[in-house]
């Protein structure tokens, strides 16, 4: 079962970022499918680490443009990135300290965070990015 069903509403019309969002959705869905499929905890931990690493790389991309374009909501947006990163770190800690499972609450959080974040907050920077020639 997929955490997030990709659809065109998630596009922000910035090619680099749309590709990154699609990859992040793929990793989240791999995690969900692995959990549903009863995959070994070690593999789940690796997927969570991949998601954390990829999300960090993606956030760095967006934040680079925020600084470059002097985006007015930079601090607010970065705080939302940090919230996601903290949740993933907490998930990793639980797994590594013997939690041996990813809770349905954590999975729900990931899917909901992605949808809310892209549709509400990422859409807000699109005009700024386009004004600076980034498509």
Average pLDDT, the chain: 91
- Residue 65: how many CA atoms within 13 Å on its side-chain side? 21
Q: Where are the domains of the chain?
A: 38-131
- In the predicted model, what is the mean pLDDT of residues 75-103? 85
Predicted pLDDT of residue 101: 66
pLDDT of 24-47, one tens digit each?
999 999 988 888 887 888 888 899
pLDDT-derived band at 1 (thresholds 50, 70, 90) equals: low
The rounded distance, in Å, linking the Cα atoms of 108 and 4 is: 10
Q: What is the pLDDT of residue 96?
A: 81
Assigned fold of 38-131? 1.20.120
Q: Rounded distance, CA 7 to CA 85, Å? A: 24
């Amino acid at each position: 079962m997929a955490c997030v069903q990709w659809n065109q509403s998630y596009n922000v019309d910035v090619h680099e970022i749309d590709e990154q969002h699609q990859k992040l959705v793929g990793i989240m869905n791999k995690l969900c499918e692995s959990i549903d499929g009863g995959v070994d905890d070690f593999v789940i931990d690796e997927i969570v680490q991949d998601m954390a690493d990829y999300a960090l790389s993606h956030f760095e991309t967006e934040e680079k443009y925020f600084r470059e374009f002097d985006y007015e909501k930079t601090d607010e947006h970065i705080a939302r990135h940090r919230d996601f990163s903290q949740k993933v770190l907490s998930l990793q800690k639980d797994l590594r300290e013997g939690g041996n499972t990813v809770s349905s609450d954590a999975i729900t959080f990931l899917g909901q965070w992605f949808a809310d974040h892209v549709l509400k907050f990422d859409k807000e920077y699109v005009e700024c990015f386009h004004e600076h020639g980034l498509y």
